[in-house]
Amino acid sequence: MTDLHTRLAIALPADFRHTDVLRFYARDREQVSERTQDQRIEKALHWQGQPALLQLDLSAPDTARAVLKGAEADPAQLQDQLRSMLGLKQDITSLHAAHGSHPEIARLLAYTPGLRMPQSASPFEAACWAVIGQMISVEAAISVRRKLIRQLGTPLANGMICHPLPEQLLAASPEQLRSCGLSASKAATLIRLAGAVESGALPLDNWATLPQPPADEISAALSQIKGIGPWTQSYILLRGYGALDGSLHGDVVVRKRLGALLNLPEPPDQAFTQQWLSQFAPWPALVAAHLWAMPTDTPTKDY
């Protein structure tokens, strides 16, 4: 890693939820690719293909201060990236304006006012997490992701490791991927995903540079990859692009929390959940995020 440094500061809205971002980057207790301490975050990442270290200081209530070390960065591009990672581009006020009088939505908004969904450092990283997390617990997904990063990622001088790039995944053998705890089907899905990115069929990073990522186009392209279904598409759109119009009706926790919100005797099925979320278009994924975050006796870890 070189001695290049880029510094900048970003203004935060009054309702910014610092703890949500800190919790998102503290998911891995072994801190392989992300580290959190007090109000500070370190994230190992590839900036335009170069390994780098992002340091983010959230100790001030109204300002996020960032330093990118090891790669040359255009300040405007870095600011845009950081605004995405912090969820600052997400239109969260329109949901309140459109549905704030809805009895259940009003309760959700009161539980977690100002909720934004922190985004992954890249759409590809979000996509890998979505595939890894299919049908397993958050703890199990964290373990598999950690092993994948250690096996295939790019190490930094401070001991942290960048999430692997598509070409690094494509260079891995099936045995390497299976040794990380991936099932054969998930390993194959990740390879297909990485291959589509490398071939240009799935321009994840290009979409991220657009003022408004084309959610329908992204979802349609993802659906062509075997192993990426509706839940995975919606999750990638949410964590990779901040798109709030995915459904996430197949998410087990969303269904459980909806059952609790509506005082149902048991969690609703996917069809009911999809219909209930759809009435809040174009923000059903944001509503699902509020369901994730609503207080219960069994708090949910971040996905």
Spell out the per-residue pLDDT of the chain, length 303, in tens: 556 889 999 999 999 999 999 999 999 999 999 999 999 999 999 999 999 999 999 999 999 999 999 998 999 999 999 999 999 999 999 999 999 999 999 999 999 999 999 999 999 999 999 999 999 999 999 999 999 999 999 999 999 999 999 999 999 998 999 999 999 999 999 999 999 999 999 999 999 999 899 999 999 999 999 999 999 999 999 999 999 998 899 999 999 999 999 999 999 999 999 999 999 999 999 999 999 999 876 655 555
Structural domain containing residue 71: 5-89
pTM comes to 0.94
Q: What is the pLDDT of residue 295?
A: 86
Q: How far is CA 16 from CA 20, 61, 85, 206, in A?
A: 9, 8, 13, 28
End-to-end Cα separation, the chain, in angstroms: 30
Look at the block and give the residue holding tokens 């190992």.
44
- CB-based contacts of 64, cutoff 8 Å, min separation 6: 9, 10, 12, 56, 57, 58, 82, 86
Q: Is the residue at 113 inside a domain?
A: no
Residue 236 sits in the same domain as residue 127: yes
Residue 226 sits in the same domain as residue 154: yes
Residue 71 sits in the same domain as residue 163: no
Report which of 127, 105, 135, 158 is spatially closest to residue 286, judged by C-alpha positions: 105
How far is the C-alpha of 210 from the C-alpha of 207, rounded, in Å?
6
Cβ-based neighbour number of residue 7 at 10 Å? 13
Residue 142 sits in the same domain as residue 217: yes
DSSP structural state of residue 28: -
Q: What is the pLDDT of residue 163?
A: 98
Q: What is the pLDDT of residue 302?
A: 56
Q: What is the pLDDT of residue 81?
A: 95
| Count of the separate structural domains present in the chain | 2
